[in-house]
Structures are given as C-alpha cells and as structure tokens.
Structure 1
Amino acid sequence: MIRFENVTKRYRGTARPALNDVDFEVLRGEFVFLVGASGSGKSSCLRLILREETPSDGRVVVLGRDLRTLSNRKVPYFRRHVGAVFQDFRLLPGKTIFQNVAFTLQVTGSSRAFIQQAVPEVLALVGLDGKEKRLPHELSGGEQQRVAIARALVNRPQVLLADEPTGNLDPATSVDIMQLFSRIHAGGTTVVMATHEAGFVDQMQRRVIELKDGEMVRDERHGGYGDTSGIPSLAPEPERGAAAVAALTAVLELHREIVENETGEQPAASEVAAAVAEEIAQAEKAELLEEAIHEPEPAEQPIVKEPERPRTNPIPVVEAIEMDVSELGLADRLGLGEQRDEDEVGPTS
C-alpha cells in the first residue's frame, strides 16, 4: 500500500539530507509508528506520502501509484484517498463543526443528501454527536482534534496519516485520541503516525520504524519507542542554598530578641554576623549530608556550593496567534480541489 524504495530527500540550503536511502513497505491494514528525535525525518516521510514533496532519489509508491509520475493536477484527487491529521487542527474558525466536516464533501461534489447522512455518522464515530452547531473555539483542544479526525475520515480514506496528533493535548485527552485511532484502525484503515509519545508506543506494541538523522535504524514488529534519553525531562531541579537562607532569617530574629531582652539595646552588626555565620555553616552541612544520603553513587570529589544566582523576572508567555486559513488553501491542502473527469485516478487494491 505504501512503499519507499531507497528514498533520499534533500532540501535546498541544507548540507545533510532529510532522508537518506530509506527503504520500507507498509501493508494494507497496518498501524505503524514513525519514531525518532526532532529532525530525524518523520515529517518528511509523511509529506512524501501525501505528495507535498517528491523524493530527490528513489521512489514513493502509494495505493499503486508512483508519486513521481503523478501530475500536479491529479494530486488533489489522489489526496481524497489519504486522510491527514496534524498537530495544529487546521479548522475553519468561522464555520460550525458540521460545516467544517461537510466542507470536505461539498468541494468534491457530494450530494446534499449524502452530506446530511455522512457528517453526523462520522461525528458520532469520533464522539462529537450533538455538537454539530458548535464553533471550534467553543470546543476543548481534544474535541477540536476529533473534528480534524472526522474531517479526515469523512471521505473514507484507505490511509490515515497523523503527524504528532497529541502534541498539543493534555495526557488524559491524548489517551482518548489514541484510543480513537485504535478504533479507526480496527475498522480496516491503514494508519501511519509520527509521534514522540514514548508511553503510547510502548503500550500499544505496534510496528515501529525508527529514524535517526534521516536514516532508518530500526523496523520492529510489536516494538517500543526505544531510546528515550533524548527526550527532555521537565522535572525541576532542587534549589540549593534554601536551608541556609531559612537559617539566616531565623537566627537573625532569634539573636535580636535575645539581645534586646537582656540589654534593651539593638545588637551590633558584628555580633549578628558571627552568630549567623555559624548557623549557616551548620545548615549547609546538613543540606549537603541530605543530598549525599539520597545520591545513589556518591561522587569522590568534594561538593562545592554554587554561588546564588540573581533572580530574574519570569518570561511572559505569548499566546499562539491562530492562522487565518482560507477555504481555498485548505481545500488544496486536504486534496479537495476542483475535480475534472480526466483527473480520475482512483484507489487501487
């Protein structure tokens, strides 16, 4: 159904190819994960399958067609047989959920009766029945992604591509979306998904194709994500010196109270400094000892306390600006441009 034959893809202005001699085949009805670090070539594979790009060397065959020989005017009709779901949803903000999904059928010339039947069916499949009249901004991120999936499925494609479909979703919603993809696959649709979600890949145990620096390094049946050392950890590092700061504050207050009670006078700065220095030293020793106890392999070299860094103002978070996608651009993107009789290519078995 999808075949890469020694495919190499080079982009202008780059010294290293995005894909280098990649060779694999996806059979009808398979569920395949494309995994690897950012820049490994996953998205390039999906763009080649969708015919957004053509290979520099080798060839890509999808649904029996060599995409190098497919003319540009036949590409929109070809894409009607290959659904695509992206990380950023790409919905039309001014149209209702029903209209977003129906738009895919309207530009392909489907009858009104068929649209009235097909759209509610596919919305029910993705769990959005009863929300046909909502606008995209009235839905949660997970619901918007479900609309995007419904739009990709309404033409009943043989292949469904997904590029990081859970990248903008919270963990609980991501689970729901992955379960939805499993149900779609169980219905006979071939699914190819590029993802960084190591947990899902490990749990689902599907076929895994791993890319590294544009080269295919693994093709494993019932595989897992593999090496996760390149995935950054979001766990905050412990702030050092916290015990010393707390001790300083407490000793200052205590020392002042004692001196004032005994003499009625404020203590001299030198007396406070001497008393506080001892307390800080003891607090730092206790803090370092606590770290040493929980360290699995203690370092032989002495631990040197880092100087306290000056605090900075937090970086303001800038909300992403929603792109204004024109209907014409979206139609071409989804393979829904104007159809001519001579453009018929049709799927092949």
Structure 2
Amino acid sequence: MIRFENVTKRYRGTAKPALTDVDFEVLRGEFVFLVGASGSGKSTCLRMILREETPSEGRVVVLGRDLRTLSNRKVPYFRRHVGAVFQDFRLLPTKTVFQNVAFTLQVIGSSRGFIQQAVPEVLALVGLAGKEKRFPHELSGGEQQRVAIARALANRPQILLADEPTGNLDPATSVDIMQLLARINAGGTTVVMATHEAGFVDQMQRRVIELSHGEMVRDERHGGYGDTSSLPSLAPEPERGAAAVAALTAVLGVQREAAIAAAAGLDPTIVPDDEDDAAGAEEPDAAAPTPSVAPASRAPIAPAASAQPTAPAPEARTPEPDAGADEDAADAASTPAKPSTAQPPTIPVELADIDVEELGLADRLGLGRDDADGDEVGPTS
C-alpha cells in the first residue's frame, strides 16, 4: 500500500537531511502512528505520500505507483485516492458545511447526483447530520475538524493521512476524533497519523513508527508512544504578588491590634505634624482605608498594643516611634517627618471600626484613594 525504500530527503539550504535512509511498508487496512519530536521528519513523510515532496534518494511507492516517475499532470488523479486532514482544518469560510465537503467532488468532476448522495452519507458518518447549512464560524473546533475529515473521505479514498488532527482540540473532543478515525479504519481505509498525543497511542496499541532527527529508530506493532521526554509539559507557574500578600498581611495585623485596643478601652491616635493634617484629622473620613503605606508627611502609627495612648509631642523634640511597633507596619510606613521647632498640639482622633471582610482588595492594601498631599501610591509588584 505504502512503501518507503531507503528514502533520504534533503532540503535546499540545510546541512542535515530531513530524512535519512528511512525504510518501512504499510499494509492495506493498517492504522499507523508516526511519532517523534518536532523536526523528526513526520510531516515530511506525509508530504511524500501525498506527492508534495519527492525523495532525494530512494523511492516512495504508493498504491503501486513510484511517485518519482509520476508526472505532475497525473498528480491530481493520484490524490483522488489519498485523503488528508490537517491540524488547522483548512475550511472555506464563505461556504457551508455541505459546500465545503462537496467542493472536492466538484473539482474532480463528480456528477451532481453523486454529490447529492455522497455528501449527506459522509456527514452522517462523521456525526454532522443536520448541520449541512451551517458555516465554519458557527461550528466548534471539533465540528470543524469533522468537516475536514468528511471532506477527505468524500471521494472514498483508500488512504487517509492525518497530520496532528487533534492538535487544536480540547481533550474530550480529541477523544471523539480518535474514535471517528478508528471507525474509518475499521471500514477498510488505511490511516497514517502523525501525532504527539502519547495517551492515544498508548491506549490504542496500534503500529508505531518512531522517528528521531530524520532517522527511523523503532517500528513496533501494538506499541506505545515510547519516550515522552521531548513532549512539552505544563510546569506550575511561579507564585506572583508576594509583595501584595505581605502588605495585606501587615494591614490585617494592624486591624487585629486596633480591635484588641478597642476591646481594652484604648483609643489609637494619629499624630499630624502640620496644620493641614491637623485640620484634616478633625474630620476623619469614615470610608478611608486602613493605613498600610503612610505618606511621607506623616509620622508612623502608634501601635495599639501600648499600655497608654500616645502623649502629645513636646515643642522642642521630634516624636519618636514606639520601639515595640509592629515591624510590618513600620516597613510599610515612609520616612518619619522632619523635626519642627513649633508643632501644634496633638489632636487625638478615634479610628472608626472597620470590618476587614467588607473591604475590597484595593482598600485592604491601602490603595483605595489618593493621599492627602497628592502623592499617588502605585500597586505593589
């Protein structure tokens, strides 16, 4: 049916051959998997069977014809006996399902009566009965691939070539396509399929021809995929937003300390260091987010775990942060305020009780609104 006799293929401009001394034979009615890493020569084998390429050395015999001696004029007639299915479907977007399948029959000159009979039959075979009038964009990926298979089978070819037919499909749809190809093979059609789907190859236990760097390294009947080290694996993505998580943890810690202070009857205070801040502190914003990042013009927040509220700062001294302040809150705070020789008296302000669960993520991180002095705090990386 298909025979490769010591085939070597060299492409112009490349130092290493795409195929080197490949030799195998596929019998009528077989289901053969071509496996191997990308660039191993699988697609080159399929193009040679379809007579899109010719060997540099050796010969390829398909259906009893030596494809080296086949004239270009006779290639279209030869391809009527070979169907091909590709990964990208290659459907005509402006034609319906019926017209896509009938198109190949029209090209080879089939009669109108044969087209009207063959197209519904092959659509029913691939499970698309009743969808003849739909366009490709109205179908799912699996249905589009079924249309492509139906088009390849419309002329009832003896050989069906499939180049990664499940590459663009989800796992469940891929299973349906593989079952469809198995039914087609059971009807007597020889199927040669290039694939990276190791699971299907291992499960179906059909003949496996493995290629590596253009050389055939294995020809096994009832075999599995074999070495899967060349297949891409989905590695877990690295965790992101560690700084945001740390900031949120610090904010929640401050909230817990504020709740403990409130339960103990203590009033946490904010120490403004200029008249504007003092004026703004007289009218606290109930919707203000918990201060996780303090502006540069404000002093650090005194911890709620202190025994007494913060005393007013002396006129001749700069207020110093409590040595027992929470480390996360201190890291989040900006540089303390500059010394001032004449500061207004500290005005104690009560913090409104805030339910952490009702805050959005932006408010938990202290990013809910702009600061009073106009400086913007961007999101953590």
Give the TM bin, normalised by the shorter chain: 0.7 to 0.9
Name the counterpart of 1:320. none
Give the superposition deviation at 1:17.
Answer: 1.1
Tell me, yes or no, if the aligned pair for 1:252 and 1:272 is still in contact at 8 Å: no
RMSD: 2.5
Give the superposition deviation at 1:276.
Answer: 3.2
Name the counterpart of 1:52. 52
Give the superposition deviation at 1:252.
Answer: 4.4
Tell me, yes or no, if the aligned pair for 2:258 and 2:268 is still in contact at 8 Å: no
Aligned pairs for 1:192-207 within 5 A: 192-207=192-207
Aligned pairs for 1:234-249 within 5 A: 234-239=234-239, 241=242, 247-249=249-251
SS of 1:201's equivalent in the other structure is: helix
Give the superposition deviation at 1:256.
Answer: 6.1
Name the counterpart of 2:253. 251
**Residues 102 and 247 of structure 1: CA distance in aligned 2, closer, same or farther (over 3 Å):** same
Give the superposition deviation at 1:232.
Answer: 1.8
Amino acid of the residue matched to residue 128 of structure 1?
A: L
Give the superposition deviation at 1:259.
Answer: 7.4
Tell me, yes or no, if the aligned pair for 1:255 and 1:272 is still in contact at 8 Å: no
Name the counterpart of 2:373. none
Give the number of equivalent residue pairs.
Answer: 282
Give the superposition deviation at 1:271.
Answer: 4.8
**Residues 251 and 26 of structure 1: CA distance in aligned 2, closer, same or farther (over 3 Å):** same
Instruction: Decide which of 275, 280, 286 is 2:327's aligned counterpart.
Output: 275
Structure 1: how far apart are the matches of 2:165 and 2:324? 60
SS of 2:166's equivalent in the other structure is: coil
Tell me, yes or no, if the aligned pair for 1:97 and 1:131 is still in contact at 8 Å: yes
Tell me, yes or no, if the aligned pair for 1:31 and 1:206 is still in contact at 8 Å: yes
Structure 2: how far apart are the matches of 1:129 and 1:173? 17
Name the counterpart of 1:334. none
Structure 2: how far apart are the matches of 1:151 and 1:270? 79
Q: Deviations over 1:142-191 (max 9, x none)?
A: 11111110110011110000000011111111110000000000000000
Q: Deviations over 1:67-121 (max 9, x none)?
A: 0000111111100000000011111111111111111111212111111111101
Asked if residue 5 in structure 1 is aligned to residue 5 in structure 2, the reply is yes
**Residues 68 and 245 of structure 1: CA distance in aligned 2, closer, same or farther (over 3 Å):** farther
Tell me, yes or no, if the aligned pair for 1:160 and 1:191 is still in contact at 8 Å: yes
**Residues 273 and 35 of structure 1: CA distance in aligned 2, closer, same or farther (over 3 Å):** farther
**Residues 257 and 188 of structure 1: CA distance in aligned 2, closer, same or farther (over 3 Å):** same
What residue ranges of structure 2 are gaps of 5+ in the alignment?
A: 271-300, 303-319, 332-379
Amino acid of the residue matched to residue 83 of structure 1?
A: G
Amino acid of the residue matched to residue 253 of structure 2?
A: V
Amino acid of the residue matched to residue 20 of structure 2?
A: N
SS of 1:12's equivalent in the other structure is: coil
Structure 2: how far apart are the matches of 1:232 and 1:274? 46
Amino acid of the residue matched to residue 236 of structure 1?
A: P
Aligned pairs for 1:225-236 within 5 A: 225-236=225-236
Structure 2: how far apart are the matches of 1:273 and 1:12? 73
Amino acid of the residue matched to residue 207 of structure 1?
A: R
SS of 1:14's equivalent in the other structure is: coil
Structure number with greater CO (CA < 8 Å, separation at least 6) is 1
Give the superposition deviation at 1:262.
Answer: 6.0
Name the counterpart of 1:104. 104
Structure 2: how far apart are the matches of 1:109 and 1:190? 24
Name the counterpart of 1:264. 269
Tell me, yes or no, if the aligned pair for 2:98 and 2:119 is still in contact at 8 Å: yes
Amino acid of the residue matched to residue 205 of structure 1?
A: Q
Deviates more, 1:185-194 or 1:8-17: 8-17
What residue ranges of structure 1 are gaps of 5+ in the alignment?
A: 280-309, 312-349
Deviates more, 1:191-200 or 1:266-275: 266-275
Aligned pairs for 1:278-293 within 5 A: none
Name the counterpart of 1:17. 17
Structure 2: how far apart are the matches of 1:209 and 1:103? 33
Name the counterpart of 1:163. 163
Structure 2: how far apart are the matches of 1:20 and 1:270? 78
Identity across the alignment (%): 80
**Residues 264 and 194 of structure 1: CA distance in aligned 2, closer, same or farther (over 3 Å):** same
Name the counterpart of 1:132. 132
Tell me, yes or no, if the aligned pair for 1:251 and 1:275 is still in contact at 8 Å: no
**Residues 251 and 22 of structure 1: CA distance in aligned 2, closer, same or farther (over 3 Å):** same
Give the superposition deviation at 1:227.
Answer: 1.2
For normalisation by structure 2, the TM-score amounts to 0.69
SS of 1:218's equivalent in the other structure is: strand
Higher helix proportion (structure 1 or 2): 1
